[in-house]
Amino acid sequence: MFDPQTLTAYAAASTPVARAQAVRDSLGSGTLTVELRDGETLVYSGTFAGPMTAGGDGSLSADALLSGLVGTAGTPNAATWTCRIRNGDGRWIEGSFGPGGRFTFSAGSLTVGQAVRLGVSIAPAGVPSWVKSAPLMTWQTLPSTRCDSVMIDPTGKTTSTGFAWCGAALKIDGSEIFMMTGGHDDGYSNSIYSLKLKTESPAWVRRNEPSYPITSNASHNPDGTPTTCHTYWNIQFNQSRNLLMWFGRAAIQGNGNTNVPNVDAFDPVTNQYLPAGTFPAAPGVSVDRPIVMIDDDCYMQGFGGQATISKWTNSDGEFGSWENIGRGDVFSAGPAFVHDPARNRIVRFDRYRAALLALGETITITSSDDYSGDTADRVREKCSAAYVPAGAGTPFDDRYVVTEFGSRLSGDPVNLHVVHPDTFAVTVAAAAGTKPTLSSGGSGATYGRLMYIDALGIIVLPTRPTENV
């Protein structure tokens, strides 16, 4: 784990040696401080003179006895101990400690009053080996990541194993994907499924048992939990509240088209839904509307008419609140919203064009650019889109990446379309490996399932629950 400035330097380097050199140069040649912690408890603090040495294998080390003595005895534990090396300007590297961690202590245990000699591996903490060994710009599948292995339906329906018309949400700090599946007659389970990526063996986990009995064509089951729904873009993760949230729900379980304005939430710590009514209802019913979270505020187009822009303010009181803040142009069903922090704007991908929504006190359309070319027939509604920041050293840097929609492909390989943020010129990514395929119909609509995981430097796309991610 690096501070942002060091991470940028690390990501810009293309070889292990260059990465080690970039981190060495970021920390500099002044006094470097080493801190060892067991949880929140500071066990040791010592200093030495930089720079550190970049090895030919990409290692980073310092052959120096640190100034400072151990203040608390203990045996390093990879699950709880961390080591941070920082300079006077606030730049740092950090990793887990102990056997299996990024840092090790050769003596096996710490004794009060002893000095410490340091050896460091520069790999960011939490990056599993399958990420570090992955070749650039290459599709690959993660073994044992079929979601249907943990799916369940209280009525015994086999159709509950679809991702039909469903998106996903990302918990950033844990690089964990959350999904609910179902809606209409595609399944009656309101279980939540999550996939943690910062691990050597990612696997889907069912977070809660489905409610039973159930109520079709209604907002909530008899036990007060929300009925399952096509999540579209509505499912989002609120990072500061640590809640999985739905901002209005559409096409809930059953054969009807009942749509409800409820804002519901799921707590991934207790693995329980918050009581119905915890948050105020949305100002209208959402069906297939683009949504994006920016600093945990929710921006949605479609309440009060397709052209209305509504904002849910996370910090407004205890429960948050809605307000209409502007108008855009009318759109077709299922476009994608993407936040572009480099230009402080939201971008909407709507069939054959991209609309720019400037962020401010109000959101208005500032321009509309045709980006059709010869690929627009496959860059269209119900797609997924992500922004990849600069610094990774790939063709995706500072670009919007957009998927194709499955019903236009009918089993063809999915291409990723790379859209320039200024010219909106479109190229198809020259990705190696076996491209994923999407089935036709609702399960081909990817919505928010294409995700750029900044902490790992990867793009992830769950396609079908019957196939590995």
Indicate the domain borders of the chain: 4-125, 132-460
Residue (of 239, 217, 10, 212) closest to 123 by Cα position: 10
Decide which of 9 and 270 is more confident.
270
pLDDT tier for residue 378 given thresholds of 50, 70 and 90: very low
Instruction: Give the count of alpha carbons within 13 A of 424, CB side only.
Output: 17
pLDDT score, position 305: 59
Give the lowest-confidence range in 62-71, 234-243, 352-361: 352-361
Residue spans of alpha helices (H) in 72-169: 129-132
CA dist 145 and 164 (Å) reads 18
Residue (of 281, 340, 330) closest to 309 by Cα position: 330
Mean pLDDT, range 13-18, rounded to an integer: 71
Residues shown for the chain? 469
Mean pLDDT, range 457-466, rounded to an integer: 88
pLDDT score, position 195: 96
**Is pLDDT at 461 greater than 60 in this prediction?**
yes
For the chain, percent of residues with pLDDT exceeding 90: 23
What is the reported pTM? 0.72
pLDDT tier for residue 372 given thresholds of 50, 70 and 90: very low
pLDDT score, position 370: 46
* Reported CATH class of domain 132-460: mainly beta
Mean of pLDDT over the chain = 80
CA dist 290 and 384 (Å) reads 10
User: At how many degrees (to 10) do helices 16-27 and 4-12 cross?
Assistant: 150
Give the lowest-confidence range in 93-102, 109-118, 229-238, 263-272: 93-102
Mean pLDDT, range 359-376, rounded to an integer: 47
CA dist 290 and 229 (Å) reads 16
Decide which of 306 and 243 is more confident.
243
Mean pLDDT, range 424-433, rounded to an integer: 83
CA dist 463 and 351 (Å) reads 21
* CA 456-461-465 angle, 5° bins: 125
Q: C-alpha distances in angstroms, 435 versus 49, 56, 137, 385, 412?
A: 49, 34, 11, 17, 9
Q: C-alpha distances in angstroms, 254 versus 153, 257, 287?
A: 13, 8, 16
The residues that bridge with 266 in the sheet, in sequence order, are 244, 273
Query: What single-letter amino acid sits at 155?
Result: T
Tokens of 21: 């050199």
* Dihedral sign for Cα atoms in the order 324, 328, 329, 333: negative
pLDDT tier for residue 464 given thresholds of 50, 70 and 90: confident
Q: C-alpha distances in angstroms, 197 versus 187, 203, 431, 458?
A: 26, 8, 21, 10
Element (H, E) at 132: helix 129-132
CA dist 342 and 344 (Å) reads 6
Scanning the structure block, which residue is given the tokens 């990879």? 78
pLDDT score, position 303: 62
pLDDT in tens, 61-105: 777 788 988 888 888 776 788 889 999 999 998 877 654 455 666
